[in-house]
Structure 1
Amino acid sequence: MFNLLRLICATLLLSFSALTTAITIEAQGQSMIFDGDLDSARQNAIRNASQQAALQASVFVSSTQKVTDGVLSIDNMQIKTLGQVNDIEILDEAIRNQTLHVRIRAEVEYEADCRGGIRSQGYMKSLAVTAFPLLAPTQAILGSLENIQSEFSAQLTNNINEKTQLTARNAGLLTMHPSIQTAPSRQLSAGAITTVLQEIQQLDVQYVVSGVIRDMTMHDPDTIALKRNILVDFYNRQDYRSKRHLRNLVVDIFIHDGFSGALLFSKQYVVAGRWNLEPEAKVGFASAAFWKQDYGMQTQMLINQITDDLQTELRCKPFAASITRTDGTFIWFNAGSQSGINVGDRLSVYRKSSFYTNGIGENVQLTNTQSSITVTEVQPFFAVGRLTQEGSTYNIQPDDVVITH
């Protein structure tokens, strides 16, 4: 028994270490001293050195990164999404020409399975969860589960908000897939296949989660047949654990990029649970009676699995938000403290443009302006950043995008 426990603990430790790596880094930082405020300069210099340590540990090289006097300079990137710097030790500090220089040693933890060590703990990426229409609505009559089409998104939204580093909004009244059989694409009258880009853009989130419920049938339809007798009912009650009572739940899940409409993830989930209620029972989806059923328990496990897969799929992707206003060198974008934005953060600016394929299908292109903003003001749901040059120089407009790397 003791050896078994040791084996389990070792397996857990190996699994954790496979996701997170910690290394010791020495790095330099500097900061100007204003009005003799040495404490503030020291804090800024340590922060700068910590950023250098995160960059070196993650081996993440940006197109605008350069080395000056042995120190990595940061322009077109956001450090917050890189490695977590811990146990900082100041090795040396000196003042030269009103500038404080520090050298530190620190432990840097980063997620080794993400490109460049990008961490899931950074910003809270936004997503909307839309309705889950039924391919065959009559299958929901058993148990009166018709409300699953909107309530499934509500349950998934709550689960995402409780268990992940994502911010989900319930859009369960919005159907993304009018052509359920061909979802996630749909066919136009001219015969062309298009995506759901137009529907996605109105949600103003970074990602859109949608889906279709493909099957809710019983494994053995005879167990709920209307023409029954006393002996059949008695047998069914005694045989409630049998596979004859299994009911399917087959759900397709899609993740679309909220800016380009691109399909990023598609997966079908298949589960089955025992349904032991009378055929006349009208419990409704997500009711207390529903969750008590084995079918309800299996549904909850399915929602948990979908949530885990969404977190895994999106945690290594960069954070992005739409620009809502520009004024000279200042840019407003629709993410604030609720998303983890802080004063001093840096984000890259991308131009958003559209073009059409064969005059029908709309495509969105994001082009790096090679410019970044530094956040100067943060509100709960929006923030303001300042460009190094006038916004007109890059023709930055509302609906363009800021992105971290």
Structure 2
Amino acid sequence: MRFKMKKVLLLLLVCCSFTLHAEWYEVEGEAIIIDGDVDIARELAVRNALKQALLYAGASVSSLQSFNGGKILSDRFQIRMDGEVRDIRLKSESVKLDKITVQIVTDIVADRNKCLSAGYQKSVSLLRFGIRHREQASYGGIYNINESFSRLLYQSLRKNSQTFDAREFINQNIGFSGSSLPLRGNLTAQEIKQISKSADSQYIILGSITDLSTFKPVVNGIAKIFSGDLPDRNFRLNIQVFDGFNGSLLFDRNYSKVTKWEFAKHRVVDTDTLKFWRSEFGVSLQLIIDDVLFDLDASLQCKLVEARVIAVDGNEVNINIGRNNGLKLGDQFMIKHTGSYVDQFGISRKKETNSSSKVEVTKLYDQQASLMTVDRQPTANVQIDDLVILN
């Protein structure tokens, strides 16, 4: 089905502030207005602010409601078992030049104890996405769209995600075919783990733009006169997230939009310009980024917080997450010893053994922390590259 939309440019960095009054959250969101369409800008600003509030509260939402004058039009929220939205109201809005700012208040009931890791940010790095059919990028000369899109997604992760500590944008070509296999192209589980180690991250995000084709929609009758010469353009994307510590696949999802391509046939389009991102096609890509961010947060916010041991100094163990990840002095972890062995078929396999010792955070830095055993006894056999799991 063709994606129909009015022009509106989402503010790339959604501004959110959270104030907790009992069970009420007050959230601020912004969007840029295009072509004077305040109604669409308002709804998009409210929707994104609400997403952030829900994730901050530890709830997950699979669909969002429509808004009209601060009241809910329909009851289409599908809150998962760990959260409930009782009420949402549009408190205020202001329009200045081409930007709308809204404030909503929402009553959210969420049992954060059911998701121990919701208050912590997991380290993640993103590799530059590929283009499966590069010949499709010749229309408009958008051969750099994969870098522009993946860089914007990375920047949005850094600024807007409640779940991730985005550490590195790896602007390199990586073997990634975009198939549905758990390991793509030439990437093996071992290579995923190596990328994770070099990027100092728990999760690795890979992606592939699988369709950039253009086509002229079939139009009959009088509408054909007004259809013009500009084609529609597909944008299909596949994203996978891997656990960098064991190479396993955690997230695999496809996204797609079809929108009008507004640029002349022989024009070479710079995908790093504001003109491109303000076009209907550019706005549709920002909506995809918005969906990706929410899906990643909702899918992975309750995954275990893990970190890698990066140094051992006597009784002190240093790990590669810290204050930026939400760690606090006294947080306790369990140590997981890692190793490998060769099975009877000559295949190298990973071996993990949980230690009975518990360690707690004694020193905090931005992206690392120092731990010691709770009873201050010597740590037994802890080695670099062992893992710790939030207890």
TM-score range, shorter chain: 0.5 to 0.7
Q: What is the CA-CA distance between 1:208 and the residue it aligns to?
A: 0.6
> In the alignment, what sits opposite 1:20?
83
Residues 178 and 210 in structure 2, CA contact (< 8 A), matched pair in contact too: no
Map 1:233-248 onto structure 2 (within 5 A): 238-240=226-228, 245-248=231-234
Structure 2 counterpart of 1:127, from 110, 124, 127? 124
1: distance between equivalents of 2:70 and 2:382? 58
1: distance between equivalents of 2:265 and 2:350? 49
Map 1:332-351 onto structure 2 (within 5 A): 332-351=318-337
The range that moved more, 162-171 or 335-344, is: 162-171
**What do the CA deviations read for 1:120-140 (whole angstroms, capped 9, x no partner)?**
641111101111111111211
> In the alignment, what sits opposite 2:207?
211
Q: What is the CA-CA distance between 1:356 and the residue it aligns to?
A: 5.0
2: distance between equivalents of 1:217 and 1:357? 47
Distance 1:390 1:275, change over 3 A: same
Q: What is the CA-CA distance between 1:157 and the residue it aligns to?
A: 1.1
Residues 336 and 352 in structure 2, CA contact (< 8 A), matched pair in contact too: yes
2: distance between equivalents of 1:284 and 1:290? 7
Gaps of 5+ in 1: 23-107, 224-234
Distance 1:193 1:333, change over 3 A: closer
1: distance between equivalents of 2:382 and 2:207? 34
1: distance between equivalents of 2:289 and 2:168? 15
Q: What is the CA-CA distance between 1:313 and the residue it aligns to?
A: 1.1
1: distance between equivalents of 2:288 and 2:268? 22
| Secondary structure, aligned partner of 1:396 | coil
Q: What is the CA-CA distance between 1:363 and the residue it aligns to?
A: 4.3
**What do the CA deviations read for 1:212-263 (whole angstroms, capped 9, x no partner)?**
111100123999xxxxxxxxxxx999425x9x72211111100100100111
1:164 correspondence with 2:161: yes
| Secondary structure, aligned partner of 1:150 | helix
Map 1:147-162 onto structure 2 (within 5 A): 147-162=144-159
1:274 correspondence with 2:270: no
Root-mean-square deviation (CA), in Å? 3.5
**What do the CA deviations read for 1:307-357 (whole angstroms, capped 9, x no partner)?**
111001110111111111112221111112111112111111111223456
Residues 318 and 404 in structure 1, CA contact (< 8 A), matched pair in contact too: yes
Structure 2 counterpart of 1:8, from 63, 72, 88? 72
Residues 361 and 372 in structure 2, CA contact (< 8 A), matched pair in contact too: yes
Distance 1:193 1:324, change over 3 A: closer
Structure exhibiting the larger radius of gyration computed from Cα positions: 1
| Secondary structure, aligned partner of 1:299 | helix
Distance 1:392 1:342, change over 3 A: closer
Q: What is the CA-CA distance between 1:382 and the residue it aligns to?
A: 1.4
Distance 1:349 1:136, change over 3 A: same
Residues 177 and 208 in structure 2, CA contact (< 8 A), matched pair in contact too: no
- Residue identity over aligned pairs, in percent, reads 25
Q: What is the CA-CA distance between 1:359 and the residue it aligns to?
A: 6.0
Output the TM-score relative to the length of structure 1.
Answer: 0.64
Residues 260 and 363 in structure 1, CA contact (< 8 A), matched pair in contact too: no
The range that moved more, 287-296 or 301-310, is: 287-296
Map 1:2-401 onto structure 2 (within 5 A): 8=72, 11=75, 19-20=82-83, 110-111=111-112, 117-119=114-116, 121-165=118-162, 166-179=164-177, 185-186=183-184, 196-220=192-216, 238-240=226-228, 245-355=231-341, 363-387=349-373, 388=375, 390-391=377-378, 393=380, 395-401=381-387
| Secondary structure, aligned partner of 2:143 | coil
Q: What is the CA-CA distance between 1:185 and the residue it aligns to?
A: 2.4
2: distance between equivalents of 1:167 and 1:257? 15
Q: What is the CA-CA distance between 1:376 and the residue it aligns to?
A: 1.0
Distance 1:10 1:179, change over 3 A: closer
> In the alignment, what sits opposite 1:103?
none
2: distance between equivalents of 1:216 and 1:109? 40
